[in-house]
Amino acid sequence: MINTRQTGEAVVDGKPTILRDIELIVIHCSATRVNRDFTARDVDTAHRYLGYSRWGYHYYIRQSGRIERMRPEQDIGAHCYGHNRESIGVCYEGGVDENGKAADTRTVQQTIAMHELVRQLWTRYPQARVVGHRDLSPDLNGNGVIEKHERIKECPCFDAIPEFERLRK
């Protein structure tokens, strides 16, 4: 394995690639109902509608567990305002139940794929912390914890920090 902190280079898809200094892997949900199909192309259309030049995430995990590459890792994402430069964005399809309520709708296949993807990302960015999008909301009361009432949104609709801290051990 190449020490990316030292060289800033790695081999991605068989090609030498200059990597960005990644501090965060930010987990998102597409905020779509679990009983609706929402493809990577749909993500692209939604992001363009919001004014982005293309999809903002680096990876998208379908309900089947298939991981779709979106932006190249060396490109700055458009998925978490104020943190795009130092992060990789990973989004899973879903996050809203059949009744329109925020919920952890990940399938077993999505969870397995997400864990495997994060493990792979850690080989390139060993210093990166995994957080949910909601964990980067402003700490309004200044106590160092993003509490439920301070969250701008529920995304990714599960507690990413403790889940990935356990995975890293």
The reported pTM is 0.85
Confidence at residue 87, expressed as pLDDT on a 0 to 100 scale: 96
| Residue 153: per-residue pLDDT | 79
C-beta separation of 105 from 157 below 8 A: yes
**pLDDT tens digits, residue range 117-126?**
999 999 999 9
3-state secondary structure (DSSP) of residue 143: coil
Specify the residue for token string 């995975």.
167
Tens of pLDDT, residues 9-67: 556 667 666 678 999 999 999 999 999 999 999 999 999 998 889 999 999 999 999 99
DSSP-derived secondary structure letter, 128: P
pLDDT score of 7: 38
**Which pLDDT belongs to residue 17?**
64
DSSP code string of 58-118: SEEE-TTS-EEE-S-TTS--SSSTTTSTTEEEEEES-EE-TTS-B-----HHHHHHHHHHH
Catalogue all structural domains in the chain, each as residue range(s) with its CATH number.
4-168 (3.40.80.10)
